Structure 1
Amino acid sequence: MVNSSGRASGQKAHLLLPTLKENDTHCIDFHYYFSSRDRSSPGALNVYVKVNGGPQGNPVWNVSGVVTEGWVKAELAISTFWPHFYQI
């Protein structure tokens, strides 16, 4: 869990899953909750796939600027058949 309450605008947090080594499709389920003190834009949540220890690259999923009413479930299917390992 990454809690950003009380943080300054523009700060970032990173949460990394363990490295996946199978060349297959993996389902990633998570919940997110966006809020802000003034009900304005709460920021952004991005999901990246880092392949073979390389650079972060572009997001494969994102949501931004939406205040949610409670927790929202997200489900992603991540497929990488070549190269050999990746991290989300």
Structure 2
Amino acid sequence: MVGDDESVTVVLNRLRRAHGQLAGVISMIEQGRDCKDVVTQLAAVSRALDRAGFKIVATGLRQCLTGEVPGNSEPMTEEQLEKLFLALA
């Protein structure tokens, strides 16, 4: 991921949190915990992943539009940007 150090740190923290939450969901299922509790935690994992994805898009959007991403010589097309956003929807 290309971006400033603060943004990278925020994304990594969100992903680490989601990783921990997912491990908790797996453990809950293995323990036979209540469906409501499992679904609640699974929703939290999903939100954490969504937020990380949105942060990545928000951080890199300007670079994607201007072609300033290292290794990328051309700006993203409107279709490519649309696909990127839809992947998170």
TM-score (ref. length: structure 1): 0.23
More helix by share: 2
Structure number with the higher strand fraction is 1
Provide the TM-score with structure 2 as the length reference.
0.22
Q: Which structure has the larger Rg over C-alpha atoms?
A: 2
